[in-house]
Structure 1
């Protein structure tokens, strides 16, 4: 059999297409070209420090100027520089690494060398990139010129040049904002605020130092407690918010640290978590949402690390084992600091809890030891007002409802009878109340159902039962279509004429009926089948309060003809008092009742001559 031959081909890269990908898909904004140039400079300085073995101070110089052909930007570092072979290897081969070694992907966190795309990002704002570089290892200075069509030239320069690299960019049309002095000053600080090397910006013969020397608490975040005002001022400068408190962050390895600034206002559970993360002191992400546990949404952080692995855009981090460990350790740092406050600075903890109770409850659900230490400060809504749990637990058993609807059904009646009931309907509350006996054995908690509150109602007398028998039977028949039964009782407060309570089955049935109204025919059919299994047991109860003058008058035999309409209106009133959403049938009933009472009023007025 004749051997078949096969040809081998090499991939061709369309550089202009690659630049479009960088600009529109990989990077969040063209301004990241500054970050890439700063990172190149930092990498070069770091390499020269290792090569020089001391006696060398790195720096980065940025200069913007206007010329007859437009704005020009110079970014210069005094790092290690490149020789010609390195230029070909690292600038012409996209994806080539400037850091060699089999363990590179596992240990190195700089994408510039890994993907060779850092300098290419400059094509987003310039059609001409000129780089002049002198290797600290010797050899001639070189000028590299790159074009967006994928071509480049290299020429040797005469004379003596200091080691380092200069990158010149000429502004292309439409990119003028990226060459404005004010924007450059803001963005250089944005990306390089924590860099350990000075960044100078020169414009119109004015020199500005962009980044002050790194404060000592950057190396050791636990020192931040001794520099409170400085840390808070730095947080305002970098994050743009005024903070009143913070928690230092650190990991056991010492490779990740930071400051968790406590937000000065309450935030909800769905709030977007935007933390700033610096990789090797360079800002990588200003919207990192996966570096802290979900419960820590009451802080806004500055985090610096050299151990997390960024994505190709260097604006987010890979979700891997290393990130999971860092997230757990940072969360543990916050938890331990809060527990320390509980012991040594309770007023400070109480101030935080008063603003961020939801976060504290979220953490307490996860960590019983944390719950046991801070539970007394956690606020809960109750029929006695919003109180800390330490005060509420003095009542035993401590009654609570499991849902907001249940609480709304009983709150007025329970309050009138001086009965303490805690609203467990908000997220985490019922779960925490159920767990309370586990952390404090002296406390008993018990879920309270609306029908159990009705047990404290005063029953009517046998004579009243006889007198109102026909009226109650009529009321029962009127509300049958709403799967609601009627009970006549006496209870406090007298101001409440009716109280609507739902059993578990009737609550489910009501939800299904409401869903059917807005569902497709197919889904309505399925819900109808499910609802059929509940229908026999799905009865609500409407309690009429004979202590209320409206009820006493409505059930008077003289008003028997009007009683059905009165019952329907009181039913709608009970739904609104209990904050129950009304379905279409109930809304129509309310409208019909209002019109009917208006008609009765007008008829009575004409009969008595009231309009004259």
Structure 2
């Protein structure tokens, strides 16, 4: 048998740098976060050895443009030569030893051993001076993006800690500009427990202020309202008017949910800032809070979630799901606390973010019970709070779709019939479940054909008088599968009302799809249409005999123009109900407009008013 040869994978480090720059990290600016992370971990490690020790991180910027250099120094645990070979020369080997670098619980931030490589995105060389707190010589390490590095012992002993020097890579000048470095250091390190000192040729200052006590204990934020709001503005860059403290039952995740000052779309992008072990992981985290909490922007810290290799997102696992649910419960509990102790504040929040509140109310019956009177709904009585509508009439009708509401709103309003528009997201569901949380209320879905039950029938004498004309009108609309009925109803200004049964609505949608489809699919849809009950798939056009125009149409002297006029009333009723017109109906509309123009021109000609 032929001998088997074994080989090792070869890593192209320059190719790896390209992957880091263009695929793993969102931006080269993360090199600052990676340097900060290494410094913080070094300080954390030394603090575990010396309990009276105080950590610090110092950054210096010198020069401008392509001649700029950046130095970051920490007084942490430092590295021995063995540490350098093991942790800086082996990709994937983290200095935070453990059985599972991803899932193991640790007090350190980094765990993948690739962070320092991110510096090659902005510098062609990394120079590091280090002195281990455990003893040994001071070392200089130089690394290049081609995968080579050198180590030499320094003649002068350094104090324990590490310094990293970077010189600006051509094209990367923006990452060495003072304003950017200052901003990014604050972004990444605003919650770090160690001071970050920045020195430039113009100033020296601590970038991150002392972390307030209410960060670790969010429930204390209620007593520091102005400070909390200012802090949110400094991080998110916008002014907020309210906030909600967040905390999980374990206390290992918490923060502040800032209430947005304006209403937002249900599908608006979520931009929560999440800090892992005090370091910013993402300023655009979308999955840390429940979907219904789109009315807040969070500043959230955690020490229990597992970051991805880029440390810009979290693994979607059971722990994240648990944390998300508990943070959602924290928001829910605070809103319910407001309902009991600060209703005016909650009422203002509901008026601004009604959609979010309705989304939560659908999920939680107890919350719905607490806040239902303040939820706004569109109705035939105007846009009102639900409590006001209940006080007016505890028996509420609602529609399930926006089209249904548009069909009946004029008729229902004219007859003082209270109907709630359930066509917007969550509204029909909330109206249907309202009796379950308020026993004094009754709700019922109203269909457009139900409104016709309130119409007044014409008399037997009128039925005989208009029988022949009604038959002609009915025959005119047969090709549209629509029947005509004469009624009297309010408002008198409305000449006609078009209504659809469930079957006729489905049939109409099928025909619309058939018109817009290719021949093969159109034939399939046509076959489906033949399965409908021909009697049930009819719509109804109610003509209002109290309307002066309709009354004139049904005079015997106007019988000649009846068909054309009824067809135009039919098309007008469709448009009033916001129904799309099919080809036949569009043709009727166009022909009717042309006849109207011709009639107008003929009348002008008879009066001698033709063109000169």
SS of match in other structure, 1:224: helix
In the alignment, the residues of structure 1 paired with residue 429 and residue 333 of structure 2 have an alpha-carbon distance, to the nearest angstrom, of 23
Determine if the alignment matches structure 1 residue 574 to structure 2 residue 573.
yes
Contact 2:66 2:169 in 1 (8 A): no
Residue 438 of structure 1 is matched in structure 2 by 436
1:109 and 1:307 in contact (8 A); partners too: no
Deviation at 1:99, TM superposition (A): 1.7
How far the C-alpha of 1:211 sits from its partner, in A, is 0.5
The TM-score with structure 2 as length reference comes to 0.97
Query: Match of 1:371?
Result: 368
Contact 1:401 1:449 in 2 (8 A): yes
1:357-410 superposed Cα distances (whole Å, 9 cap, x missing partner): 111111111111111111111111111111222222242321111111111111
1:468 aligns with 2:463: no
Q: Are residue 37 (structure 1) and residue 35 (structure 2) matched?
A: yes
Corresponding residue for 1:609? 608
Go from structure 1 to structure 2 and tell me whether the alpha carbon gap of 1:505 and 1:312 turns closer, same or farther (over 3 Å shift). same
- Structure 1 counterpart of 2:152: 155
Deviations 1:531-571 (A, max 9, x none): 22225121111111111111111222222222222112111
- 8 Å Cα contact 1:112-1:118 kept in structure 2: no
Aligned to 2:583: 584
- With normalisation by structure 1, the TM-score equals 0.97
Matches within 5 A, 1:417-496: 417-496=415-494
**Partner in structure 1 of residue 314 of structure 2:** 317
- Cα deviations across residues 274-309 of structure 1 (Å, max 9, x unaligned)? 111000111101111111111111111000001001
| Structure-2 separation of matches of 1:522 and 1:121 | 56
Alignment-derived partner of residue 501 in structure 1? 499
In the TM superposition, residue 106 of structure 1 has moved relative to its aligned partner by 2.6
Is 1:383 matched up with 2:353?
no
* DSSP-derived class of the 2:289 partner: coil
1:223 pairs with 2:220: yes
Cα separation, 1, equivalents of 2:133 and 2:445? 75
Measured against aligned partners, the alpha-carbon deviations of 1:82-128 in whole angstroms (never above 9, x if no partner) come to 11111111111111121223365433468874221100000001111
SS of residue paired to 1:487: strand
Q: Secondary structure at the match of 2:52?
A: coil
In 2, Cα distance between equivalents of 1:211 and 1:389: 47
Q: Hey, what does 2:18 align to over in structure 1? A: 20
Point out the more displaced range, 4-13 or 184-193.
Answer: 4-13
| Separation in 2, partners of 1:220, 1:247 | 13
Q: 1:485 Cα deviation (Å)?
A: 0.8
- How many residues are aligned here? 609
- Partner of 1:393 in structure 2? 390
Indicate conservation of the 8 Å contact 2:79/2:130, yes or no.
yes
Alpha-carbon distance between aligned partners in 1 of 2:410 and 2:48, rounded to the nearest angstrom? 74
1:164 correspondence with 2:161: yes
- Check conservation: 1:350, 1:377, Cα contact below 8 A: yes
Is residue 251–residue 329 contact of structure 1 (8 Å, CA) maintained in 2?
Answer: yes
CA distance in 2, matches of 1:465, 1:398: 34
Give the corresponding residue for 1:545: 544
Q: Equivalent residue for 1:563? A: 562
Matched, 1:101 2:98: yes
Kept in 2: contact 1:63–1:73 (CA 8 A): yes
In 2, Cα distance between equivalents of 1:530 and 1:36: 62
Contact 1:82 1:134 in 2 (8 A): yes
Q: Secondary structure at the match of 1:579?
A: coil
Cα distance in 2 for partners of 1:519, 1:555 equals: 40
Find the counterpart in structure 2 of residue 89 from structure 1. Answer: 86
**Aligned partners of 1:597, 1:85: CA distance in 2, in Å?**
95
Post-superposition Cα deviations, 1:316-370, rounded to whole Å, max 9, x if no partner, equal: 1101111011001000000001111111111011001001111111111111111
Residue 260 of structure 2 corresponds to which residue in structure 1?
Answer: 263
Q: Which moved more, 1:120-129 or 1:581-590?
A: 581-590
Q: CA deviation at 1:8?
A: 1.5
Q: What is the distance in 2 between the residues matched to 1:500 and 1:166?
A: 79
Partner SS state of residue 158, structure 2: coil
CA distance in structure 2 between the aligned counterparts of 1:422 and 1:99, rounded to whole angstroms: 61
- Indicate yes or no: 2:174 matched with 1:177: yes
Conservation of the 8 A alpha-carbon contact between 2:431 and 2:443:
yes
Q: Distance in 2 between matches of 1:308 and 1:88?
A: 30
Q: Distance in 2 between matches of 1:520 and 1:49?
A: 72
| 3-state secondary structure, aligned to 1:271 | coil
Q: Say whether residues 1:597 and 2:589 are aligned partners.
A: no
> Structure 1 residue 5: deviation in Å?
2.8
User: Is the 1:274–1:287 contact (alpha carbons within 8 Å) kept by the matching residues of 2?
Assistant: yes
SS in 2 for 1:126: coil
Give the secondary-structure state (helix, strand or coil) at the position aligned to 2:166: strand
Root mean square deviation of aligned Cα:
1.6
Output the CA distance in 2 between the equivalents of 1:317 and 1:421.
Answer: 46
Structure 2: any 5+ residue segments left out of the alignment? none
